[in-house]
Structure 1
Amino acid sequence: MVLKVFFPSCCSSADSGILIGRWISEQNSAVILAVVHFPFIPVQVKQYLGEVQRVTKVSVSVLGSWSNSKQEKEESLSEFLEDLGTIFCHEPWIQISKEGDSKFWSCSTLQKHSKNPQEEEIILVYYDQRKVMLSHLHPPLDTAGQRAEDASKLSAIFDTVARSQVLFMTDRYDEGPVKLTHWQSDGVEASIIVELLKQASVPACMLLTLLLSLVSGICRSRVLKLWPLSFLWSKLSTCEQLGHRLQHLQVISSNKKAQNHNQLMRKANIFVSLLIDVALGILLMSWLYRKNRIGHLADTLIPVADHVAEELQDLLQWLMGAPAGLKMNRALDQVLGRFFLYHIHLWISYIHLLSPFIEMILWYVGLSACLGLTVALCILSDIIALLTFHIYCFYVYGARLYCLKIYGLSSLWRLFRGKKWNVLRQRVDSCSYDLDQLFIGTLLFTILLFLLPTTALYYLVFTLLRLLVVIVQGLIHLLVDLIDSLPLYSLILRLCRSYRLAAGVKFRVLEQQDGKPLRLLMQINPLSYGAVVQTYRLPTYSCYPRDSWASLCKKLFLGELIYPWKHKGDKQN
C-alpha cells in the first residue's frame, strides 16, 4: 500500500519533536498539522489534544516523530523518538527526519503492535498550510466520474486544516505547557485596521438595521398597497431596484453569522457590489452637476422630443398616402392616421406644458444617483418609458386592432369549414350553419380581409418602433443586471489571492531517489474566472422572457402584446 503523508512546509525547519495531525484511514493518509518540540510532558500533550479535539471536532492525535538532525546531534535522540510510539500508541508510527545538509529526507513507519507488518511505499507531500487553511475547495462542475472522487479525497484534507484553526492560534511566545510549530508560530496573523473595523461595524449594523426596519415598515404599510401606488411600484423599474437594494442592505446588516462559505461570499459580494454601485453613482452625480450639465440636458430634451414628434407626424403622413406604392383602404387609412396624429398633438402639448419644470425635475432626479448607478440607470429607463409613452399607445392600439381582425378571420374561416371553437372543452368541434349565417359570415370575412393590409401596415410600423424602444430599455436593464449580479468580491479575490478559491491541486516532484520517499509539492489550482462568476453570481430581480423565439414570433404574428422585460411575479394580460 501507499502511505501519503501531508507535511506542512513551515515545519521543515522546526526543532525535533512529535508530529500531531489527523489520520485518515479511508485514504491511508496522514495530515500533519504541527510539530510539538521538546521539552514536553506526554500527559499534558494528551490533555491539550483532547481539548483541541473537543473544540474542533477533528480527531487530532500524535502520529509520529520529527527529527531535525541539523539541530539535534545526540545519538540517543532517535531511540527516544522511537520509544514515544509506545506512549502515544498510534499505528503506523511515522518517523520523518532531515539528514543534515543533504537535500534528501528519510521517512519510515513502525508497526510495533501489528502481527504482520508490511512495508509501505511512502509519499511525502509538502503543502502550504496558510494557503490550504484560507482556501475553499470547490467541487467540480462535473460531479460524476473520477474527478468527483478525487475532489472528495482532497476536501477531507482541506477540511482538516480549516477546522483546526484553533490549533494555530498559539505561538511560541505563549507561556503554555506545549510549544508548537506551525504557520503562525512567529505570531498570529492579524490586522489592527481589520479589528477596528470589526468593532466599529457592530454599532453601524445596529443603526442600519433600525433604519431598514423603519423603511421596511413604511413599505409594508397599507397606504402603499392602494391601487395607484401599488401599480406604480410594480411597473416602475426604479421601485423594483430600490426594493432589491433594500433586501441587500437587510442581508448585510443582519446579525446572523454566515453558516457556510457560500453565505459568507454572498454577503461579501453584496457589500462590494453595493459599495462600487454607490461610488459610481456619486461619480455620475458629480459629473452631472459640474458646468451646469443638468441645464444643458434640460435645454436639449424639449427639442429632441419635438423632433421625434415631427418624425412621427411625417411617418403618419406617409402612411396616410400610398406607402411604398401600396394601395390602402382610403377611409380606414384616414381614420387611423388622424387618430394617431391627434395623439401626437396631445403628446406635444403635454411636453410643452412640462417644459418649465423639466430642469427642476432633472435636478432632483440627479440627486438619486447617490443611491447608486443602478438606481440612476433605472430612472433613465423609466424616463425613456414616459417619453415614449405615445409610441407604446400606438403599438397597443395597432396590436389590439390587428389581433381582433386575425382572430375574427380565423373564426370566420372555421365557419366556412363547418367548424366552431368549443369554449368549454377548448377544442374545435363540427357545427352546422344555416344559409343566413353563412351569408353574414361571408360578408364579414370579405370586409375584414380587405381591411387587413391597412391595419397590418400600421401594426408593423408601430411594432418596429416599440421594439426599438424596448431594445434600448433592454440594454439598460442588462447593464443593471450585470452590476447587480456580478460577484465583484469573488473576482477581486481571484485576481489578488487566487489560492482562496481553489478548484483543485497539482503536484510537482521535488525529490525522487531509490530507497527514499517520493517528495512532492502540492500547489493549489485556482478557480477559473468563468467558474467564479458561475458559482458566486448574485440573483437579480428581473428575468428574461420565458418564451422561446418561435413563441415570440407567433405572438408578433397574431398581434398579442409582448412584454420582453417583465419582472417576477407579474402577470401578462
Structure 2
Amino acid sequence: MVLKIFFPQCCNRADSGLLVGRWLSGHNSAVVLAVIHYPFIPGQVKQYIQQLQAQSGVELTVLGSWSLPKEGQEDPESFLRDLSTIFPREPWLQISRTVGKMGFSCEVLGRDHSGRATQQEDDEEEDEEDKVIFVHYEQRKVMVSQLHPIEDQNHDNRTQPSSELRQMFQTVARSEPLFFLDKYDDGPLKSTHWQSEGREASIIVELLKRASVPLCFLVSWLLSVWTWICEIRIFRVFPLSFLSSKLSTCVQVSHRTEHLKMLSSPRAAKGHMDFMRKANVLVSVLVDMVLGVLLMSWLYKDQNISMLAQTLVPAADHVARELEELLQWLMGAPAGLKMNRALDQVLGRFFLYHIHLWISYIHLMSPFIQGILWFGGLSACLGLTFALSLLSDMVALFTFHIYCFYVYGARLYCLKVYGLSSLWRLFRGKKWNVLRQRVDSCSYDLDQLFIGTLLFTVLLFLLPTTALYYLVFTLLRLVVVLFQGVLHLSVDFINSFPLYSMVLRVFQPYRLAEGVKFRVLCDEPGTALHLLMEINPLTFGSVLQTYRTTTYTCCPKDSWVALSRKLFIGELLYPWRHKTTKTS
C-alpha cells in the first residue's frame, strides 16, 4: 500500500526535530503541519499539542521525526528511533534529508512486542520509493484557500468520510492556532511553518477593526429608527403602500436597508459563504457610493443641473408634438389603410385631448423642475443605484401619458378580442363554462344567433382600427419599458455583482480553488517520489455564479412565449413584477 505524505515546502530546509500533523481518517495519508526543533522537553510538547487540539478541534499528533544534519554533524538515527518510545504512535515516520540532495528518504517504523520501533518489512521487498509519495504543498496558499464545491456543514449525511484532498485542506485551514508560534517567541518550543519567520500585522487594519465596533452600533441604531418610521400605520394605507412597492427608489431603499442590517449585525460570519457574502455586499456598497459621489460632483459642477432643466421642457414639448403628428397620421389613412372613420376620429380626438392635458401639466411644473433635479441629485450621495432608480421613476412620471394611451388601447383591443372569441364559440354551438373552466356544448335560439351575428360583424370590422392604435401605443410603451429595463438591470448588476470575489480571483486566484494538479518535482534514485501540488483556481463564470448576491430583478417572470401571447390578446404588461411576485 502506498503511503502519501503532504509535506509543506517551508519545512524543506528546517532544522531537525519532530513532525507535527494529522493522519487522515479513511486514507493511508498524513499531513505534516510544522516541525518542532531541538531542544525540547517531551512533556511540554505533549501539553502544547493537547492545547492545540482543544483550540482547533483537529486531532493533531506527533507523526515522526525530521532529520537534516548540518555539515560536520552525524545523522542522529538512533536518537530519532528512541523518540518513538516517548511519543507512541504507529506507524512512526522517520524522514531524513541529505545536504545537497533534493529528495527525502523515509522509513516507516512499526513496533515489536517490547514496544521498540522496528522497520516494517515488505514480503515482496519493494523499494522504499514505491511505498512513500511526498506531495509538497505551499502551506500559506492552502491555508487561505477554499476548495469548491463547498460541502454543506448542516448536511445530515455526516457519516460518509470526506475525500482525501478535502480533509487535507480542512486540516491546514483549521490548524491556525498552530501557526501562531514563531521563532521570535520566548516560549520553550521553536517551530517551523509558513509563519515561522514572524507574523505580519497592520496598524491600519487593527484600527479599522476597533473603529468598526462603534460604527456598527451607530448604523444599527439608525436602521432601527428608520425601520420604526417605515412601520408607522400611515405608510400602510393603500395609496402609499402601493406606490412604495412600485417605485424603484423605494424598492432600492428597502434593498439597501437589508444590506446595511446584514453588515452591521454583531453576529460573526458563519462559514466561507457567509463571509464572502458580507464582503461582496460591503465592497458593492462602497463602490456604489463612490460612483454616486462622482456623479453628484459632475451634476453640481458648471451648472449642469440648470442645463438639464432647460433641456427637459423642450424635449417634452418635442415628444408631445411628435405624438400629435402621429395621431393626425392615424386619423387619416395610415399606410393607405381604410379605417373606420367614426371610430378613428373618436379615438384620435380622445388621445389628442390627453396630450393637451399633459402639455399643460408640463408647463405648470416647469418652474419647479430645476429644484426637483437639484434635490434629486442629492440622492446620488447614497449611491449610483439610488440615482438610477430615481431616474427610472422620473422617466415613468414624464411618460405617464404614453402609459395611459397604452392602457386605453390595450383594454379596448382586449375587450374586442375576447368578444370575438366568445361570439365565435356561439357560432359553433359552444360556450365557456366558468365553473368547470372548460368549453361545453350549448344550444342557442334564432334571436341569440341573430344578435350574435350582428355583434360579431360590428366587432370584426372595428377591430383593425382598434388594433392599429393598440399596435402604435404598445410600441411606444415598449420603448419606455426597454429604457427603464436598462436602468433596472444596471442597478441590479451593481447590487449583485461579486466584486470582492472577482478581485480575489484576479490577484489571489488560489483563494478560490476548483481543484489541484500535480507535477513531478523529484524522482531521484534511492529517494521517494516527490510531487508538487498546485491549485487550480475557479473560472470567472463559476465565481460569478457561486458568489452572485441575491437581489430583486426587474425582469418579467413570464417567458417569451407567454409575453408574445399577452401582447397578441391585449393583456397589460407590468414590468415592475419581480420573480418573487405571485401572479394570478
TMscore range, shorter length: over 0.9
1:257 counterpart residue number:
268
Aligned mate of 1:207, from 195, 215, 218:
218
Query: Shift in Å at residue 527 of structure 1?
Result: 1.2
Q: Does 1:483 align with 2:520?
A: no
Give, in whole Å, the separation in 1 of the partners of 2:86 and 2:457.
105
2:527 counterpart residue number:
516
Structure 1 segment 308-347 matched on structure 2, within 5 A: 308-347=319-358
Distance change >3 Å, CA 356–CA 397, structure 1 → 2:
same
Does the Cα contact within 8 Å between 1:474 and 1:565 map onto a contact in 2? Answer: no
Q: Does 1:139 align with 2:117?
A: no
Distance change >3 Å, CA 503–CA 400, structure 1 → 2:
same
- What SS does the corresponding residue of 1:107 show, helix, strand or coil? strand
Query: Shift in Å at residue 544 of structure 1?
Result: 2.4
Does the Cα contact within 8 Å between 1:273 and 1:487 map onto a contact in 2? Answer: yes
Distance change >3 Å, CA 71–CA 537, structure 1 → 2:
farther
Summarize deviations over 1:469-490 as a string: whole Å, max 9, x none: 1111111111111111100011
Return the letter of the residue paired with 2:37.
H
Query: Shift in Å at residue 73 of structure 1?
Result: 1.4
1:464 counterpart residue number:
475
- What SS does the corresponding residue of 1:18 show, helix, strand or coil? strand
Give, in whole Å, the separation in 2 of the partners of 1:387 and 1:71.
86
2:136 counterpart residue number:
126
- Worse-superposed segment, 4-13 or 343-352: 4-13
Query: Shift in Å at residue 270 of structure 1?
Result: 0.3
- What SS does the corresponding residue of 1:111 show, helix, strand or coil? strand
Give, in whole Å, the separation in 2 of the partners of 1:72 and 1:537.
59
Return the letter of the residue paired with 1:68.
L
1:276 counterpart residue number:
287
Give, in whole Å, the separation in 2 of the partners of 1:132 and 1:564.
47
- What SS does the corresponding residue of 1:290 show, helix, strand or coil? coil
Does the Cα contact within 8 Å between 1:252 and 1:267 map onto a contact in 2? Answer: yes
Query: Shift in Å at residue 515 of structure 1?
Result: 3.1
- Worse-superposed segment, 182-191 or 331-340: 182-191
Query: Shift in Å at residue 569 of structure 1?
Result: 4.9
Q: Does 1:91 align with 2:101?
A: no
Structure 1 segment 338-357 matched on structure 2, within 5 A: 338-357=349-368
Summarize deviations over 1:538-562 as a string: whole Å, max 9, x none: 0112252222211111111100011
Give, in whole Å, the separation in 2 of the partners of 1:345 and 1:322.
23
1:145 counterpart residue number:
none
- What SS does the corresponding residue of 2:198 show, helix, strand or coil? coil
Structure 1 segment 498-537 matched on structure 2, within 5 A: 498-537=509-548
- What SS does the corresponding residue of 1:139 show, helix, strand or coil? coil
Give, in whole Å, the separation in 2 of the partners of 1:572 and 1:390.
26
Query: Shift in Å at residue 222 of structure 1?
Result: 1.2
- What SS does the corresponding residue of 2:163 show, helix, strand or coil? helix
Does the Cα contact within 8 Å between 1:4 and 1:123 map onto a contact in 2? Answer: yes
Aligned mate of 2:297, from 280, 283, 286:
286
1:401 counterpart residue number:
412
Summarize deviations over 1:410-467 as a string: whole Å, max 9, x none: 1011111111111111111111111111111111001000000000000001111111
Distance change >3 Å, CA 81–CA 433, structure 1 → 2:
same
RMSD of equivalent CA atoms = 1.8
Does the Cα contact within 8 Å between 1:151 and 1:504 map onto a contact in 2? Answer: no
- Worse-superposed segment, 295-304 or 557-566: 557-566
Return the letter of the residue paired with 1:55.
Q
Give, in whole Å, the separation in 1 of the partners of 2:328 and 2:371.
35
Return the letter of the residue paired with 2:101.
S
Does the Cα contact within 8 Å between 2:108 and 2:120 map onto a contact in 1? Answer: no
Does the Cα contact within 8 Å between 1:484 and 1:538 map onto a contact in 2? Answer: yes
Give, in whole Å, the separation in 2 of the partners of 1:244 and 1:231.
17
2:254 counterpart residue number:
243
Structure 1 segment 45-124 matched on structure 2, within 5 A: 45-70=45-70, 73-75=73-75, 77-113=76-112, 117-118=121-122, 121-124=131-134
Return the letter of the residue paired with 2:443.
S
Give, in whole Å, the separation in 1 of the partners of 2:407 and 2:582.
17
1:146 counterpart residue number:
none
Query: Shift in Å at residue 499 of structure 1?
Result: 1.3
Give, in whole Å, the separation in 2 of the partners of 1:211 and 1:325.
64
Query: Shift in Å at residue 177 of structure 1?
Result: 2.7
* Structure 2 gaps, min length 5: 113-117, 152-159
Does the Cα contact within 8 Å between 2:554 and 2:575 map onto a contact in 1? Answer: no
Query: Shift in Å at residue 206 of structure 1?
Result: 0.7
Return the letter of the residue paired with 1:135.
S
2:565 counterpart residue number:
554
Aligned pair count?
565
Does the Cα contact within 8 Å between 1:111 and 1:117 map onto a contact in 2? Answer: no
1:425 counterpart residue number:
436
- What SS does the corresponding residue of 2:26 show, helix, strand or coil? coil
Summarize deviations over 1:224-281 as a string: whole Å, max 9, x none: 1112211110110110011101100000000000110000000000000000000000
- What SS does the corresponding residue of 1:408 show, helix, strand or coil? helix
Give, in whole Å, the separation in 1 of the partners of 2:103 and 2:424.
92
2:374 counterpart residue number:
363
Give, in whole Å, the separation in 2 of the partners of 1:398 and 1:423.
27
2:155 counterpart residue number:
none
* Structure 1 gaps, min length 5: 142-148
Structure 1 segment 437-456 matched on structure 2, within 5 A: 437-456=448-467
- What SS does the corresponding residue of 1:210 show, helix, strand or coil? helix
Give, in whole Å, the separation in 2 of the partners of 1:443 and 1:467.
35
Does the Cα contact within 8 Å between 2:554 and 2:578 map onto a contact in 1? Answer: yes
Give, in whole Å, the separation in 1 of the partners of 2:30 and 2:248.
56
1:411 counterpart residue number:
422
- What SS does the corresponding residue of 2:111 show, helix, strand or coil? coil
Query: Shift in Å at residue 100 of structure 1?
Result: 1.4
